[in-house]
């Protein structure tokens, strides 16, 4: 893949049916959980991206074998004590915050040390949010300023914890659950609702997890040390990757798309609810439940009159990775769109709230930003006819793909740098756009 992409033309109208690669969040969790199973686990449609490859490389370094060919992955787990590796083994998480944070949980009972590192972008991100609960479990952690690289060593005497997770972070919650899985006794997590793929996988594996809802929060109980056998998983398509095509279709004239077999579970599909509140025409067809996840085909048509939104805070968690695209839609609507309590965007691969604000201003859109809110003064007559250069975004794959969608939907002459960052989550993105007739070079 080229590192620089030039786009000089809008995309023409289209009517397409497509399949999106496997869900990244589920793919990584499958790899990590399968490494703890007893016997062979098999996944179909496992995402073949850099983040997932780094996850597979991680368990390989820890002594777990796997085979991965044509999106079929076999992992040969050895149970809770199956890791076998040399002291100070280095695990490179690349750009994956999910891998880097969740792997702490699996290392709770290791005798040798592991050094977790990441790329330049990941090394800027906060890891105190997982260091704090892991130390309570008894994990020994050597960290400078809670940034990668971090040295981790397990304990033979891990203890269950009661923990308040106040950020609504699925990564922190999952890290704690993976540690609790290997710890005798009952761990309790008091948390806000967030992505719940780990909990659903635990339930499908008949693991002793209990979730009690209380007002707008929940308490998760987990009794550790129950082994489980290898399992199969058919990974659905990724809603985050699908969202780029959803928004491209909304903003393109006389276009339609059907995106097949996508995970649209409540904890992930906030973008669909938000866009439909803005007068989009997005429909879910052929809905079914698979291993606790809601799967459906997504039907989208070009939007006629989109309207601004005062976005309900309840959708923040379920659309956190799609806000860049939602902001782009707001840019071409009439009126002022408002978003509150979105400060978590500053803790992503890049400061996405800052990037979004700068990006919108570059397009000629008036904004008002604070540390955790954004107002967008939309312009339904927005026309792009200048040159736009996108760079210095810490190789954030979603920032890169957003820029490509904006160029194809709104026009102008674009030069987008670090396009190879897309390999993190959606390596076939550019190739797929070309089948739509997009002119990318």
CATH code of the domain containing 244? 3.65.10.10
pLDDT digits (tens, 9 = 90+) for 76-124: 999 999 999 999 999 999 999 999 999 999 999 999 999 999 999 999 9
* Domain co-membership, 99 together with 145: yes
**Residue 428 pLDDT greater than 80, yes or no:** yes
Q: Cα–Cα distance between 438 and 319 in angstroms, integer?
A: 27
Q: How confident is the model at residue 188 (pLDDT cuts 50, 70, 90)?
A: very high
Are residues 408 and 271 part of one domain? yes
Asked whether residue 190 falls in the same domain as residue 321, the answer is no
Within a domain: 440: no
Domain match, 223 and 249 both? no
* Active-site hit among 321, 394, 396, 418: 321
Residue 154 pLDDT > 80, yes or no? yes
Q: Same domain for 148 and 161? A: yes
What does the pLDDT average to over 209-215? Answer: 92
pLDDT averaged over the chain? Answer: 96
Same domain, 145 and 163: yes
pTM confidence score: 0.96
Q: Is 321 a catalytic residue?
A: yes
Would you state the pLDDT for residue 215? 84
Question: Do residues 243 and 271 touch, judged by C-beta distance below 8 A?
Answer: yes
Residue at 120 is within a domain: yes
Query: Looking at the chain, how many residues does it have?
Result: 441
Supply the DSSP string of 159-212, one letter for each residue.
---EEEE-S--HHHHHHHHHHHHTSSSEEEEEE-----HHHHHHHHTT--EEEE
Indicate whether 135 pLDDT > 80.
yes
Q: What is the pLDDT of residue 1?
A: 63
Domain membership of residue 403 (yes or no) is yes
- Region 375-398: what's the mean pLDDT? 94
Parent domain of 154: 24-234
Instruction: Please check the confidence at residue 43 and state whether its pLDDT lies above 80.
Output: yes
Same domain, 201 and 273: no
Same domain, 102 and 244: no
Mean pLDDT on 414-440: 96
Q: Are residues 275 and 325 in the same domain?
A: yes
Tell me, yes or no, whether 93 and 242 share the same domain: no
Mean pLDDT of 253-264: 97
pLDDT value of position 216: 84
The last residue of a domain, from among 206, 234, 262: 234
Contacts of 112 (CB under 8 A, 6+ apart): 85, 86, 87, 88, 89, 153
């Amino acid at each position: 893949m080229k590192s620089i992409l030039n786009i000089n033309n809008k995309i023409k109208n289209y009517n397409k049916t497509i399949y999106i690669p496997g869900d990244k969040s589920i793919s990584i969790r499958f790899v990590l959980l399968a490494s703890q199973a007893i016997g062979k686990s098999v996944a179909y449609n496992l995402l073949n991206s850099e983040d997932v490859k780094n996850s597979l490389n991680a368990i390989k370094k820890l002594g777990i074998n796997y085979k991965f060919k044509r999106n079929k992955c076999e992992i040969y787990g050895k149970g809770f004590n199956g890791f076998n590796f040399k002291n100070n083994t280095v695990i490179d998480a690349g750009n994956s915050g999910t891998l880097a944070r969740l792997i702490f949980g699996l290392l709770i009972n290791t005798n040798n040390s592991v050094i977790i590192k990441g790329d330049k972008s990941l090394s800027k991100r906060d890891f105190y949010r997982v260091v704090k609960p892991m130390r309570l479990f008894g994990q020994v952690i050597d960290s400078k300023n809670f940034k990668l690289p971090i040295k981790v060593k397990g304990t033979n005497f891990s203890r269950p914890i009661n923990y308040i997770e106040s950020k609504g972070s699925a990564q922190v919650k999952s890290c704690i659950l993976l540690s609790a899985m290997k710890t005798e006794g009952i761990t309790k997590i008091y948390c806000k609702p967030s992505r719940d793929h780990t909990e659903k996988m635990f339930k499908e594996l008949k693991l002793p997890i209990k979730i009690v809802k209380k007002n707008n929060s929940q308490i998760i109980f987990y009794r550790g040390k129950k082994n489980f056998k290898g399992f199969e998983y058919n990974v659905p398509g990724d809603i985050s990757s699908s969202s780029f095509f959803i928004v491209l279709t909304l903003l393109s004239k006389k276009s339609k798309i059907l995106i097949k077999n996508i995970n649209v579970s409540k904890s992930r599909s906030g973008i669909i609810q938000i866009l439909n509140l803005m007068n989009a025409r997005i429909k879910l067809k052929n809905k079914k439940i698979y291993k606790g996840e809601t799967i459906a085909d997504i039907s989208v048509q070009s939007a006629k009159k989109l309207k601004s939104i005062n976005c309900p805070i309840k959708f923040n968690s379920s659309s956190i990775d799609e806000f860049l695209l939602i902001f782009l839609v707001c840019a071409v609507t009439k009126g002022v769109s408002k978003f509150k309590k979105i400060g978590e965007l500053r803790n992503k691969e890049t400061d996405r709230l800052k990037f979004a604000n700068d990006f919108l201003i570059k397009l000629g859109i008036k904004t008002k930003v604070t540390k955790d809110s954004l107002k967008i003064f939309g312009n339904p007559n927005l026309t792009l006819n200048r040159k736009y250069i996108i760079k210095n975004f810490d190789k954030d794959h979603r920032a890169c793909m957003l820029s490509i969608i904006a160029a194809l939907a709104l026009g102008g002459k674009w030069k987008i740098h670090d396009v190879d960052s897309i390999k993190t989550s959606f390596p076939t993105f550019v190739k797929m756009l070309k089948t739509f007739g997009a002119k990318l070079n």
